[in-house]
Amino acid sequence: WNKISDNTKKLVENLQTENTLYLSRLITLIESTRDDHQEQARMVVSYLLQRSKENNTQYKSFRIGISGPPGAGKSTFIEAFGKHLTSLNHKVAVLAIDPSSVRSGGSVLGDKTRMVELSVDPNAYVRPSSTRGSLGGICKSTSDTIVLCESAGFDVVLVETVGVGQSEVSIDEMIDIFVLLVPPANGDELQGLKKGIMESADLIVVNKADGELLPKARFTVSEYMSALKLQRPKSENWKATVISCSSLSKEGIDNVWNMMMKYKDTMLKCGEFKYKRSLQKETFMKKLIDDEIVQKLWADPNVQRLLPSLEAQVREGNISPSLASINIINEFLKDKKD
Ligand code: GDP
């Protein structure tokens, strides 16, 4: 705490006030690429983690990952679901990871037409996805952003991702429950379903179960049910299941929340909830080390000097890739060995 600057301290002290401006400022600090900002951000997050541990509030929150193909109705669902939660007196934060926006320069949640009602709800906080920085950078900061939102009093954190499967960083590593939102589909469309995504789902929600789509939605539920039966369960304490809802008519939205609560209760009781979170933190630490070391290595002047000639020799076949790689690594470690 002593190492945190007075300006940043002020933000932390005001974090729990109604005004989410302080939260936004702190998130910006976390997302900043400036070294001094990152140092402050690290200190703040560590302080907040300690504080929630001391207050015994660290497992009060629920981190929900929501993913699904474009057009499944994710933003419509999050709007309806978020409103349902705030009506139950929960405070809801919505974050987004959009791997595609890094390339296209667009932003999922930045689009103002999305989640209009939730955005103005005093008990909700909708954070547009950051378009700056690398994919790794965005996902790296998301984990810390979740801690900030929780410290600001948001007890439900929704993390939306698009384009799962393409991203090497899995949101499964920072959330408590992974929800796959899918539209009603016929047999052929279901064939194309990515197996990997289904395997990571704790709950599958078939959206758009309304009007003319209702029979198709029912069919989709039973198809997913049978598909789930064929795969190995992700956890021995929880069987993934499939339910349907309509984000337009709001039918079944309460059911989705009840099912999620059932999941949380079950996982808390058997200890897997806490275990998963501690494992996530450990894994994340290791990933950050990997990331940092690799960046430092490529940026190292000695490495940069040696690299072009070694690359040429590898291409020409004068030296094996494995020997060249060891030379590079030794070059990087050269003046660091003592
Ligand atoms: P996203 O790309 O997954 O975020 O999908 P959107 O939320 O933008 O929704 C895509 C389209 O599906 C929009 O035209 C929505 O109005 C429509 N949609 C979303 N939820 C429902 C629903 O529950 N029922 C019906 N009939 N349409 C829906």
In short, whether 111's Cβ falls inside 6 Å of ligand 1 is no
Quickly name the fold that domain 1-56 has.
1.20.5
CB atoms within 10 A of CB 169: 18
Q: Determine contact, residues 251/210, Cβ cutoff 8 Å.
A: yes
Position 103 scores a pLDDT of 42
Q: How far is the CA of 106 from the centre of ligand 1 (A)?
A: 19
10 pLDDT more than 80: yes
Residue limits of CATH 3.40.50.300 in the chain? 59-270
Mean pLDDT of 82-111: 72
pLDDT in tens, 30-43: 888 888 998 999 99
The preferred substitution site among 66, 67, 74, 76 for testing ligand 1, maximizing ligand atoms within 8 Å of CB, is 76
Nearest to 201 by CA among 61, 63, 65: 65
In the block, residue with structure tokens 């080390």: 289
Residue limits of CATH 1.20.5 in the chain? 1-56
Mean pLDDT of 236-257: 97
Measuring from atom 18 of ligand 1, which residue has the nearest CA? 73
Mean pLDDT of 137-145: 77
pLDDT in tens, 159-205: 988 654 444 456 778 899 999 999 998 877 776 665 667 788 999 99
Measured distance CA(67)–CA(204) in Å, rounded: 10
Mean pLDDT of 19-36: 89
Measuring from atom 15 of ligand 1, which residue has the nearest CA? 73
Mean pLDDT estimate for the chain: 87
Query: Which of these ranges, 22-26, 138-142, 201-205, has the smallest mean pLDDT?
Result: 138-142
What are the contacts of 133-140 at 24+ separation with CB within 8 A? 133/31, 133/33, 133/102, 134/102, 135/99, 135/102, 135/167, 135/168, 135/169, 136/169, 136/291, 137/31, 137/33, 138/31, 138/97, 138/98, 138/102, 139/97, 139/167, 139/169, 139/171, 140/169, 140/288, 140/291
Position 5 scores a pLDDT of 87
Measuring from atom 24 of ligand 1, which residue has the nearest CA? 208
Per DSSP bridges, beta strands 203-206 and 92-97 are unpaired
Measured distance CA(283)–CA(172) in Å, rounded: 12
CATH of range 59-270; options 3.30.70.3000, 3.10.310.10, 3.40.50.460, 3.40.50.300? 3.40.50.300
111 pLDDT more than 60: no
Position 166 scores a pLDDT of 47
For residue 110 the two structure tokens come to 């930045």
Measuring from atom 27 of ligand 1, which residue has the nearest CA? 208
Nearest to 63 by CA among 170, 179, 164: 179
Q: How far is the CA of 74 from the centre of ligand 1 (A)?
A: 7
Q: Which helix (H) or strand (E) holds 166?
A: none
